Amino acid sequence: MDDQAIKEIVAEIQLLMVGRAPGKIFQLSPLSLVIDFRLRDQGDLFISVAPAHPRLYLVKRRVRDLEKQSMPLTQFGQSLRKELSNTTLRSIEKDPNDRIVSFQFSGQTN
């Protein structure tokens, strides 16, 4: 992903996701997750940190299909689920000098 594409994706998902609480987390591979932000028709947040193919976008899949495709949560996925419970997404920001996207949550973390 190039810098401009990341900026555009962040701008799009920011409008849809800020103020929402994360729901179920689906582990699609050891390096990719889908997080349900209850966006209904817009989709769920797909995040991949695979070094060769990092990705961040909304994906439209039925919960039933995500459940079939998912594997048990890794230790990171379990920690993420624990830390995000009872929180709300406060902001999404792209680092102006790098391809790093930061998600800020507020609420009672565990």
Phi–psi pair at 81, nearest 5 degrees: -60, -45
Asked if pLDDT for residue 42 goes beyond 90, the answer is no
pLDDT-based confidence at residue 3 (cuts at 50, 70, 90): confident
Q: Which two tokens stand for residue 74?
A: 């890794």
pTM to 2 decimal places: 0.87
For the chain, the residue count is 110
- Distance CA(51)–CA(32), nearest Å, equals 11
Q: What is the mean pLDDT of residues 30-49?
A: 91
The pLDDT value given to residue 110? 56
Using DSSP's 3-state secondary structure scheme, residue 39 falls into: coil
Q: What is the mean pLDDT of the chain?
A: 91
- Distance CA(47)–CA(30), nearest Å, equals 11
Per-residue pLDDT of 53-62, as tens digits, reads 889 999 998 8
Using DSSP's 3-state secondary structure scheme, residue 43 falls into: coil
